[in-house]
Amino acid sequence: MALLLGGCGGPLSALDPAGPGTASIARLWWMMFWGSAAIFLLTMVLFAIVMLRPNWGARVSPLRWIVCGGLGLPALVLPPLAGYSLWTGEALLPTADRDAVRIEAEAAMWSWTFRYPDHGGAETVDILHLPEGEPVEIHLTSRDVIHSFWIPRLTGKRDNIPGQVNVLWLQADGAAGEEGAIEGTCAEYCGIGHAAMRFEVRVHPEDKMEAAIAATPRGDPPRMRTELPVPAGLPVEPLR
Amino acid sequence: MTREKDAGAPPEARDPIRLHKALTRIWGAGPGLARLSSTNHSVLGMRFMITAGVFFLIGGILAMIIRAQLSTPQSAFLGAETYSQIFTLHGTVMMFLFAIPMLEGLAGYMLPKLMGARDLAFPRLTAFGYWCYLFGGSIIVLSLLFGVAPDSGWFMYVPLSSKPHSPGVNSDVWLLGITFVEISALTFATTLVVSILKIRAPGMTLGRMPIFAWYMLVTSLMIILGFPPLILGSILLEAERAFGLPFFDPTRGGSALLWQHLFWIFGHPEVYIIFIPAAGVLSTIVPVFARHPLVGYRAIVAALVAFGFLSFGIWAHHMYTTGIPHMALAFFSLASSLVVVPTAIQIFAWLATFAHGRPRWDVPMLYLFGFLWIFVMGGLTGVMVAMVPFDLQAHDTHFVVAHMHYVLVGGFVFPLLAGLYYWLPLATGRASRFTLARPGFWLIFIGFNLTFFMMHLTGLLGMPRRVFTYPGHEGWMWLNVLSSIGGMVLTMGFAVILADLALHARFGRRARRDPWEGGTLDWAIPRPPTFYAFASLPRIETRADRIDPRELGRELAAGEGYLGDTRNGWQETLGIHVTTGEADQVIIFPRQSYEPLVTAATVGLTVLAMLFKLYPVAVAGFFVVSAMFVFRAQSAGLREDHGPLPIGRGEAVPPHTEAESSPPLLALVVALVADGTILASLIYAGFYNWLVAANWPPPELARGGLIPVALAVAALVAASGCARGALAALGRGGNPVPWIGAGIFAGLAVTGIVGAILAGLPDPRSHAHPATVFMLVGYIGLHAYVGLLFLVSNALRYRAGYLSARRRLDLRLTRVWQDYTAVSGIVILLVVLALPALAPLAEGRP
Ligand code: HEM
Ligand SMILES: [Cu+2]
Ligand SMILES: [Cu+2]
């Protein structure tokens, strides 16, 4: 339990929010966690009682057991849960009244190319720059197989699928200027380079974005990619 | 059970020993290698279970290799390439070669014994299914030794698994091997449906069946409806890989998501297909240890049916991250969470049974406790991942790995171990010693929780599944170390269980009848089970889990039930009316034979030929196999009319060859339901690509042409008319051969016209649309071809004297087949005509 509550940090932790998306999902998770713990305990206690105190449970008719446990319990738990979850899901959707910054994330075996049409049209490889506190609309595409774009500290994942464009909304509220605090990864298995298909996320105040993008060296992979043992010279082809 | 005294032979005339010897001469499997020809359900059921157990060990070793690799960051033990083959094979072996065959084996072994029958409906088909499973499974596992094992994950997502990105033979091994194994599952499911509906002890109405039979009925129907989409998907993907038909290629009008839909329409029911039989085992055991009949029999059956329906409506919860529309997400999320209801009904029915009984504690109960603990946790994390926002985080991480193992191991392996210890005295005839069963349990239970609980946490900390290693700064390391230690404890637990089984086989003392005081028919037979299972068949007057096996067992052994004597050296059992449960036929099983082995081996060679791209050999193999099926049918059935045969207790019923509703007819209908599901999936694929794929409309539309279509419809209707004519002629005592000849002519016409239509299509490699039309029209051709096989067989068998005005089964089967071919053919032709008309609609889509 201490492990669970204590060590929630980490550059890829879904329990250490750095934006509103993950914050609301993490709230949902903690709610479900405590609810589940309660239901689990309830079931185990009931089992212990019926095994050890046969007479206690026999006072309740079989039909009532089945109706209360099989219909009553789910009826009590599911509607609020589903409602809260739908509400959380709505909050992850774009808010119409704000203009979002547009960024393109093109996946290919096995690296990420990010383009910034709203910031001068430059591109970076395996390093994503995000404006702090601004809603961002990420357009996801793939050049080959299915990949999945995931920054656990900011929001849930969304797949890059060849032949279609998926859009993901996110916002980074914190960690501006902290290098290595937020990472992203490919979440869908995409071949032998999958494990190495990670990227770094750097958050800047909006007015420093363009400079940061321009200053990003090309062909210089971020740290966590070089740290992986890629013995047979994993063919991470640089894009174009 | 209430039994009236048999008015026939006086009891002293019956001698159990003589009866046993006579039945063993008829039913016994040969010694040594002759065993390979056995078609007996006990032999085959055990063989399925042992083979599945071996595959479980193989999958377990692969799991240990995975855990060893992941235990430390930047591990250099395995490379990415090897790792990909190992996790893919682990998942594939566990799901397709362990879980499904294990439950099939268990059902095949137990069902006849629980339902008071001497064998399953189609012994030779069961044997054929076993060999298909063994050969298909071996191809898949052996591929690892050659370094060409499948490597795109157990759900084989395209385009990763398609030709440009997987040029090797790896994906073909999966597609061909798994399809081979799935055909085995389909034949087995058909056998089970028919056996459960038609082959029970007289008096056992549906409402009196032991509850396990209900679980297996639902499971088998789910297999019948759930496996065809994947079989179709695999055929399409193999056609794309081998011949370039672009069903999944977005550059040519295909769609990558189509594969995911087809896979998960299969894949989600698959998980319940694994769980439901295991729950059936528990429902059989719970009342015995609660010392109280199962409460809520009807509620449980209703919950099972609900389970079956729901499971087909929630496949897209595996696809929340693919960008499917928001409203669809909400629907699938709600439907998925509804699964809680039947699950909770099931669990509370067990708790209520304990609450009303006088529970006692023994080794099977230990495993039941393990089940409850682990499965409830897995169910709760299941509700979590059904919630879309949370799944967007958890999907494709080790959280999901943890969830699915909690459900699969908790919901399948633990109940299976409970069942193992429960039925061991029946299978071996030896009393359980249980010296090591308890330490084994605790090792498995603690090891399991240690291994997989940690994975929830690594998943939440962002560890994606299927990564072969990780840099190590993410905070995953200690959790992974603990998880791998847990894996070792778990493995030790299984080793202890194996040792326990060895001790049991070596030192176990002889068990008495019904050691657990169960109330089901399986305990009324000799232990270990004899080949014929029941020396005579019981009559059931109460729910079949409330009988007294000790008393009944003695009576049955003395031949006091039905069929308590031998006749003509026939392997006999009773068929009953589906709902009334009254005996309506004597089913006479075919003799054991090597044909299933030979046929399956030929199919296996055909599969290998496809794997090695020796297509001429594959085509030849296809024709040889067709010929074998025709040839094999030649010896089935009887050459004379017998009329009603006495079955004891003053009743007489006809042999199945003369019965109104004999098992093969029902089997054909069930098989056609599966076949129709394949067709429906194909049509779905056509429309799906039309509606959502990129690069539509196609450069050139595939049009069938009105005249060929009209001709084809006429020929199809004529073929079906001829089948009816032949049946009517035979019924009047006339000669059906002229009608059969005309039917052959009509069938040839269908194949000819279909060939012409196919030849006139645009190149099916150019676009998904002509490719789909090619498959659809080919479907008609294939069915017309099989119809021809039916007709040839009919003519031969009429000549050989197997058909008469009373024995019309063959022609009935042909009629059903030809009717299906005509109806499905007309539907297909209409779809083909309609598709181009839809072209303008496709213009306006997003
Ligand atoms: C006996 C102990 C077992 C252990 C220690 C174990 C371990 C694992 C691990 C660590 C993975 C994740 C691999 C990865 O994502 O890199 C995995 C995947 C999987 N396991 Fe197990 N497993 C066990 C038993 C089972 C059983 C009994 C089943 C099914 C009945 C099963 C089915 C699967 C499936 C379907 C996958 C997914 C494979 C894929 O991603 O393609 N496992 N297992
Ligand atoms: Cu990837
Ligand atoms: Cu599912």
pLDDT band, residue B843 (cuts 50/70/90): low
CA B120 to chain centre: 15
Domain boundary among A37, A70, A92: A92
Number of structural domains chain B divides into? 2
* Residue to probe by mutation, ligand 1, list B56, B94, B414, most atoms within 8 Å of CB: B94
State the amino acid at position A52 in one-letter form.
L
pLDDT band, residue B411 (cuts 50/70/90): very high
Q: Is the peptide bond before B528 cis (omega within 30 degrees of 0)?
A: yes
DSSP of A118-139:
GGTT-EEESEEEEEBT--EEEE
User: Is B480 within a domain?
Assistant: yes
Tell me the pTM: 0.94
pLDDT band, residue B585 (cuts 50/70/90): very high
User: Is A236 within a domain?
Assistant: no
A73 touches chain B (CB under 8 A): yes
Cβ–Cβ under 8 Å, residues B186 and B133: no
User: Is A4 within a domain?
Assistant: no
- β-strands A166-170, A198-204: how paired? unpaired
Q: Among A39-53, B421-435, B716-730, whose mean pLDDT is lowest?
A: B421-435
Taking alpha carbons only, the member of B697, B807, B808, B794 closest to residue B740 is B794
Q: How far is the CA of B404 from the centre of ligand 1 (A)?
A: 8
User: Is A121 within a domain?
Assistant: yes
Are A49 and A125 in the same domain? no
Are A110 and A163 in the same domain? yes
**Cβ contacts of B334 on chain A, cutoff 8 Å:** 82
Are A205 and A105 in the same domain? yes
Is 50 exceeded by the pLDDT of residue A239?
Answer: no
With a CB-CB cutoff of 8 Å, which residues 128-147 of chain A face chain B?
144-146
Cβ–Cβ under 8 Å, residues B805 and B730: yes
Domain boundary among A35, A65, A92: A92
Average pLDDT, chain B: 92
Is 50 exceeded by the pLDDT of residue B413?
Answer: yes
Q: Render the burial of B723-732: b for 16+ CB within 10 Å, e for the rest.
A: bbbbbebbee
Q: What does the pLDDT read at residue B14?
A: 67
pLDDT band, residue A6 (cuts 50/70/90): low
Q: Ion ligand 3 — residues with CB under 5 Å?
A: B 268
Is 60 exceeded by the pLDDT of residue B536?
Answer: yes
Measured N-to-C along each axis, helices B297-311 and B256-290 cross at an angle, to the nearest 10 degrees, of 170
Q: What does the pLDDT read at residue A96?
A: 60
pLDDT band, residue B581 (cuts 50/70/90): very high
Are A128 and A186 in the same domain? yes
Rounded average pLDDT over B65-76 = 92
Mind listing the pLDDT tens digit for each residue in B236-269? Answer: 999 999 999 999 999 998 999 999 999 999 999 9
Are A87 and A130 in the same domain? no
Chain A nearest-CA residue for B320: A158
Taking alpha carbons only, the member of B379, B333, B389, B318 closest to residue A79 is B333
User: Is B839 within a domain?
Assistant: yes
pLDDT band, residue A224 (cuts 50/70/90): confident
User: Is A31 within a domain?
Assistant: yes
**Cβ contacts of A159 on chain B, cutoff 8 Å:** 321-323
Percent pLDDT > 90 in chain B is 78
Taking alpha carbons only, the member of B312, B219, B196 closest to residue B273 is B219
Tokens of B48: 């399925």
Q: What does the pLDDT read at residue A204?
A: 93
Q: How far is the CA of B652 from the centre of ligand 1 (A)?
A: 54
Are A220 and A108 in the same domain? yes
Are A111 and A205 in the same domain? yes
Are A66 and A127 in the same domain? no
- What is the CATH classification number for the domain harbouring B190? 1.20.210.10
Q: Whose CA is nearest to atom 18 of ligand 1?
A: B91
User: Is B601 within a domain?
Assistant: no
Beta carbons within 8 Å of B669's beta carbon, 6+ residues apart: B816
User: Is B483 within a domain?
Assistant: yes
Mind listing the pLDDT tens digit for each residue in B657-678? Answer: 999 888 999 999 999 999 999 9
Are A80 and A121 in the same domain? no
Paired with B430 in beta bridges are: B510
- What is the CATH classification number for the domain harbouring A222? 2.60.40.420
Taking alpha carbons only, the member of B717, B748, B688 closest to residue B262 is B688
Q: What does the pLDDT read at residue B515?
A: 87
Is 90 exceeded by the pLDDT of residue B509?
Answer: no
User: Is B533 within a domain?
Assistant: no
Mind listing the pLDDT tens digit for each residue in B589-616? Answer: 988 889 999 999 999 999 999 999 999 9
Is 60 exceeded by the pLDDT of residue B420?
Answer: yes
Q: Among A3-12, A82-91, B58-67, B661-670, whose mean pLDDT is lowest?
A: A3-12
Q: Of B359, B395, B463, which is closest to A157 when you measure between CB atoms?
A: B395
Domain boundary among A47, A72, A92: A92
Cβ–Cβ under 8 Å, residues B277 and B103: yes
Residues B731 and B590: their CA atoms lie apart, in Å, by 25
User: Is B206 within a domain?
Assistant: yes
Number of structural domains chain A divides into? 2
User: Is A33 within a domain?
Assistant: yes
Rounded average pLDDT over A95-104 = 78
For chain B, the straight-line distance linking the first and the last C-alpha, in angstroms and rounded, comes to 66
- What is the CATH classification number for the domain harbouring B742? 1.20.120.80
Are A110 and A220 in the same domain? yes
Containing structural domain, residue A149: 101-226
Containing structural domain, residue B790: 696-844
Q: What does the pLDDT read at residue B842?
A: 57
Residue found under tokens 């869908």: A188
Q: What does the pLDDT read at residue A95?
A: 65
Are A114 and A220 in the same domain? yes
Are A58 and A138 in the same domain? no
Domain boundary among B507, B539, B562: B507
User: Is A5 within a domain?
Assistant: no
